[in-house]
């Protein structure tokens, strides 16, 4: 099987990630921070090293800024539901994943907040920035937006958006589910207040891992409370990071596997990974465009994700046909109906292909040939 569903989760995982998970299960099986015995303390030290690795990777102020939720969706929920007070207003983009849209819509339906979707103008960052400026209101209390669309590979000018919002004293949360490990992300240089990332995509960690980086976690109200191993006499959730967002036993094998994934990306080099994956997607995009047999919607992707359709064919049927021929892709709405509405594919969805650091040119050429064969049928 040729796996091109890496926008959902990367596969295969590096050997070092698999080894780290196995090592965690063999050697670090105690609950970290819950006891004073040797294994518990050793496990806590390993988790701290993972925090330090994540903080360094994203250029966050320090390990104390890093929490490990179950996934990027949970991290985004922590921020959105923790930052917004009744009567508040949120600015987001028109390309968001449901990890952002569903919390916003749920809170709007409950009368807690209102939100505005700023229109992204692909290829014109000035126009995109102007749309975000016009969306801001006096009651705006948060801007949350994707770094890169998981459907169209469109990159938002998040550093400029952060600077704009800060000029109005509005905190900024960036959804880096599709960009972490592919694009450089600096919490310090970008000026982001919150960064949410998936551990299992471009960071090559196991599923069930996410990252929340917060400059000031105490500014967020909690949505989950419970045991943390610290301040146990206090019936309120601790104010400090990371305990504020890590109730209950954390996923130690996943977290240590994620640390190995981050180390893999650092060893390969983000720039090298981006060049490799982008070259494959440019080749695929250009061949599809030249064939005139494939429906392409967005400009050449800035992030290596490509969604397309075949004229007169259902996207799910195309994905099934590709599966029978040995290719793993995803069709449908990709949990991002607003992004599909933007390009008019809400009713039919699209077929999405995304490479990884392990994808070869030969594999993408085979995929391209197979898609064009299906288009001729």
Q: 350 in helix, strand or coil?
A: strand
Residue 231 has a pLDDT of 82
Q: What is the per-residue pLDDT across 192-250, written as a single tens digit (0 to 9) for each?
A: 999 999 999 999 999 999 999 999 988 999 988 998 888 888 888 888 889 999 899 99
The percent of residues in the chain predicted with pLDDT above 90, rounded, is 92
Q: What is the per-residue pLDDT across 69-110, written as a single tens digit (0 to 9) for each?
A: 999 999 999 999 999 999 999 999 999 999 999 999 999 999
Contacts of 155 (CB under 8 A, 6+ apart): 147, 148, 149, 179, 183, 302, 303
Which residues in 166-228 belong to E strands, given as ranges? 172-175, 194-198, 210-214
What six digits make up the tokens of 129?
């920035």
Using CB atoms within 10 A of its CB, is residue 233 exposed (0-12), middle (13-18) or buried (19+)? exposed
The percent of residues in the chain predicted with pLDDT above 70, rounded, is 100
Question: What is the CB neighbour count within 10 angstroms for residue 170?
Answer: 20
Nearest CA to 60 out of 179, 206, 161, 197 is that of 197
Domain with CATH 3.40.640.10 in the chain: 15-267
Domain 15-267 class, CATH top level: alpha beta
| CATH number of the structural domain 270-376 | 3.90.1150.10
Cα 7 to Cα 126, 131, 217, distances in angstroms: 28, 27, 28
Domain with CATH 3.90.1150.10 in the chain: 270-376
Q: Is the pTM of this model over 0.85?
A: yes
Residue 332 has a pLDDT of 98
């Amino acid at each position: 099987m040729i796996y091109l569903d890496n926008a959902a989760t990367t596969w295969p995982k590096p050997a070092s990630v698999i080894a780290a998970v196995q090592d965690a299960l063999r050697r670090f099986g105690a609950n970290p921070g819950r006891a004073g015995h040797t294994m518990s303390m050793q496990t806590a030290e390993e988790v701290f090293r993972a925090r330090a690795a994540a903080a360094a990777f994203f250029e966050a102020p320090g390990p104390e800024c890093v929490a490990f939720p179950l996934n990027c969706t949970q991290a985004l929920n922590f921020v959105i539901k923790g930052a917004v007070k009744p009567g508040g207003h949120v600015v987001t983009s028109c390309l968001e994943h449901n990890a952002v849209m569903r919390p916003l819509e749920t809170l709007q339906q409950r009368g807690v907040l209102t939100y505005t979707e700023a229109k992204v103008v692909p290829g014109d960052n000035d126009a995109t920035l102007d749309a975000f400026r016009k969306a801001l209101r006096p009651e705006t209390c948060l801007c949350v937006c994707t770094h890169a669309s998981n459907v169209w590979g469109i990159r938002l000018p998040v550093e400029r958006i952060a600077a704009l919002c800060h000029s109005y004293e509005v905190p900024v949360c960036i959804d880096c589910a599709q960009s972490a490990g592919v694009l450089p992300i600096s919490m310090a240089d970008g000026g982001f207040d919150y960064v949410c990332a998936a551990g299992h995509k471009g960071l090559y960690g196991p599923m069930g891992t996410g990252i929340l980086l917060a400059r000031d976690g105490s500014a967020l109200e909690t949505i989950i409370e419970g045991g943390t191993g610290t301040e146990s006499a206090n019936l309120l959730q601790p104010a400090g990071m990371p305990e504020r967002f890590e109730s209950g036993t954390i996923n130690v094998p996943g977290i240590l596997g994620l640390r190995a994934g981050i180390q893999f990306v650092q060893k390969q080099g983000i720039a090298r990974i981006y060049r490799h994956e982008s070259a494959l997607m440019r080749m695929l995009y250009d061949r599809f465009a030249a064939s005139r047999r494939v429906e392409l919607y967005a400009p050449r992707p800035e992030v290596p994700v490509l969604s397309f359709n075949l004229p007169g064919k259902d996207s799910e049927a195309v994905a099934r046909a590709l599966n029978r021929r040995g290719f793993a892709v995803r069709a449908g709405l990709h949990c991002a109906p607003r992004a599909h509405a933007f390009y008019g594919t809400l009713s039919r969805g699209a077929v999405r292909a995304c490479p990884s650091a392990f994808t070869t040119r030969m594999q993408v050429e085979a995929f391209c040939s197979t898609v064009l064969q299906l288009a001729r049928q």
